[in-house]
Amino acid sequence: MMLANGLIARPHKYSMSLTTKGEIMTSYQVLVYDNNHYGDERERVDYGVFATVDDAVAKSKKIIDDDLKAMWKPGTSATALYQLYICWGPDPVVVPLDPSDPEVAFSAWPYAKERCREIVIDPALAKTK
């Protein structure tokens, strides 16, 4: 389909957003893998498509934070919490819908490792929603 500005709209199973100039904006999909079923595509969950990379990364971080909060118990060390996460937690990945766009520089495991340290230092973080 030809757009008014001469660009050709690429078909995709998700709708694409347009800028005010009618240009196609990159959208980002959040896919969540299960660390307990590493490599098993059948265990992947699609958490949706986001208009910006920041929104997609924020959703990914929230998914991790919510899981860490549920796993943490008083007295749990950062190392033990991180081991629980890498064995049982979600592993969100942010991917651009347009394969020609650059990969997103977000990795769940390093983010989770840092959050484990923060939660153990300040347990109030595990209680916040």
Could you tell me if residue 14 is inside a domain?
no
* Number of domains composing the chain: 1
Q: What is the pLDDT of residues 40-67, one digit of tens each?
A: 777 788 989 999 999 999 999 999 999 9
Q: Which residues, 6+ apart, have CB-to-CB distance to 12 below 8 Å?
A: 97
Could you tell me if residue 73 is inside a domain?
yes
Nearest to 91 by CA among 121, 47, 125, 49: 47
Containing structural domain, residue 80: 26-126
Q: What is the pLDDT of residues 4-26, one digit of tens each?
A: 333 333 333 444 455 555 555 67
Could you tell me if residue 21 is inside a domain?
no
CA torsion sign, 116 to 85 to 106 to 51? negative
| pTM metric for this prediction | 0.76
Could you tell me if residue 4 is inside a domain?
no
